[in-house]
Amino acid sequence: GAKGMLLFNVLSAYAGDPILSMQLAYRDDARPEKTNLSIGLYYDDQGRIPRLSSVQQARERVLRSTDPSMYLPMSGNPAYCKATQALVFGADAPALHEGRVATIQTVGGSGALKVGADVLRKFFPGAQARISDPSWDNHRAILEGAGFVVETYPYFNRDTQRLDFDRMLAGLKALPQETVVLFHPSCHNPTGADLSQAQWDQVVDIVVSRRLIAFLDMAYQGFGDGLDDDAYLVRALVCANASFLVANSYSKTFSLYGERCGSLSMVCANADEAGRALGQMQQAVRRNYSSPPAFGASLVETVLNDAELAALWRSELAEMRTRIQTMRSRLYEGLCAQQPGVDWAFLMAQKGMFGYAPVLAQHMMRLRNEHAVYIIESGRICVAGLNDANVDRVAYAFAAVLK
């Protein structure tokens, strides 16, 4: 009270994260038909966060162990890192055998972005960072938090509601050497607008010839076209002998949000460079949080390193991917039926968890107030929040506010 030091009176209020604030409004909404398409979570067809059977079986095994809880090394669980490398780079990637990929376990994909940004900032102090326009909001926050000046490169055309590839290429070509450029290899957040493999090839040419520092953020590997297809950019950059970074996240693909499972890899020119890259990532970890948590990584590692559980997980992942694709089609068909004159084809061209319909942005409050449908300000829709029970009503609500 009044007797306190008021030392922290200088602190300004934190506006909070708009998406997380919306969760609270949704939670307190008493309407039974309420539908949450705002946050980027995968829900099953019952509207629940799934418990994957592969992960459940791994959990039973891990819980049987009576080992004490020891610190992991700064770089995390070695078996987890090795299995993650196989998934991200492909099991027989020559770069792995050549020992020129350094990989650490991180606190989710977000932790990987932070550690990678810290390492880059230390050794490229003159570099700026570029993210796509638009991008996941936390990309800017994390890169700026690491000290970078962050600008955008052209990505999405709001008139066609599609990727603006020519402007993207021109933007990348104009960047100074050693600019840090953040890419979404697949399932772009928020737009769902992805590059084709041929388009990525052109980006790779520019990255290599212009000596750009590509930083890949792969938070949805397997939610687009499949585990290998979604990692095309990773594989293409390796083939082109690029030096680059990859962040990966298991939050969505293992439905393990709270366990904070991710990784950061630095692909180097040779094993000697990779050894130093590992050391620098370890140092960045040490000075941020010392070492990563053990439990979630042991679950992921148990699944990926057991042939049977790994096969089960791949089928569960395929099921999630297929469900998202089905719901995207159902929404599209519903919209076409409600609004025969409107071209929603762009929705079908998008991939991954999100649909992006900036046209809906201005109707966000009406969707919420009149139809109990929650979307975020940008017009991003989480397609994975749709199910048999709500998809027709959502299509109706969208059509109603757009009339």
Let me know if 133 is a catalytic residue: no
- Nearer Cβ to ligand PLP (219/347): 219
- Smallest gap, in angstroms, from Cβ of residue 11 to ligand PLP? 25
CA distances from 138 to 69, 144, 182, 334 (A): 31, 10, 12, 32
State both tokens at 385.
């929040």
Beta strands in 64-199 (DSSP E): 101-107, 129-133, 150-154, 156-157, 162-163, 180-183
- Smallest gap, in angstroms, from Cβ of residue 106 to ligand PLP? 8
Give the closest residue to 389 by CA, choosing from 44, 20, 23. Answer: 44
- Smallest gap, in angstroms, from Cβ of residue 41 to ligand PLP? 9
- Nearer Cβ to ligand PLP (108/334): 108
Give the closest residue to 117 by CA, choosing from 264, 289, 272. Answer: 264
- Based on the number of CB atoms within 10 Å of its own CB, is 79 exposed (0-12), middle (13-18) or buried (19 or more)? middle
- Nearer Cβ to ligand PLP (81/397): 81
- What is d(CA 78, CA 319) in angstroms, rounded to the nearest whole number? 29
Q: Are strands 261-267 and 244-249 parallel, antiparallel or unpaired?
A: antiparallel
**What torsion, rounded to 10 degrees, do the Cα atoms 319, 322, 327, 330 define?**
-130
- Smallest gap, in angstroms, from Cβ of residue 40 to ligand PLP? 5
Q: Which of 118, 194, 217, 230 is catalytic?
A: 217
- Smallest gap, in angstroms, from Cβ of residue 362 to ligand PLP? 24
Q: Which of 252, 313, 344, 351 is catalytic?
A: 252
Q: Which residues bind ligand PLP (CB under 6 A)?
A: 40, 108-110, 136, 189, 217, 219, 249, 251, 262
- Nearer Cβ to ligand PLP (152/339): 152
C-beta separation of 352 from 192 below 8 A? yes
- Nearer Cβ to ligand PLP (183/398): 183
Let me know if 252 is a catalytic residue: yes
Q: Which residue is nearest to ligand PLP (CB)?
A: 108
What SS3 state is found at 78?
helix
Let me know if 136 is a catalytic residue: yes
Q: Which of 118, 136, 230, 351 is catalytic?
A: 136
User: Could you give the residue numbers annotated as active site?
Assistant: 136, 217, 252
